[in-house]
Amino acid sequence: MKKTLFPVIAAILMAIPATSAFAHKDTPGIIGEHDMTGTVKQIDHKKGTLTLQTKGGPTLHLHFPADDLKDVKNGDAITVHLGFTKGGDGNK
């Protein structure tokens, strides 16, 4: 499964726009960059959302472009790359 999932994860990461916070580790203002690995527990392919149960940690509710999740399914192990900046409008 790991061999077939790696290309899917790579495709998801390549599809993220260059302006994305975690696309550039050297981008000024990025805080808390880290990776989290877990198991996909729920996925909504139409909305592009998934629930990731991390190993020994929190459950994450995440959103991606729907097309990028077409080959991801419940039970898949994935790693997400996280980071944030302050000052955005949290209501959008």
Query: Can you give the CATH number for the domain in which 42 is found?
Result: 2.40.50.140
Residue 22 binned pLDDT confidence (cut-offs 50, 70, 90)? very low
Q: 90 lies in a domain? A: no
Residue 27 binned pLDDT confidence (cut-offs 50, 70, 90)? low
Facing residues of 31 across strands?
84
Domain housing 48: 2-84
User: Phi/psi at 86 (nearest 5 deg)?
Assistant: -95, 150
Contact call for residues 60 and 81 (beta carbons, < 8 A): no
Domain count of the fold of the chain: 1
DSSP-assigned letter for residue 47: T
Better-predicted residue by pLDDT, 38 or 28: 38
CA distance 59 to 73: 16
Q: 76 lies in a domain? A: yes
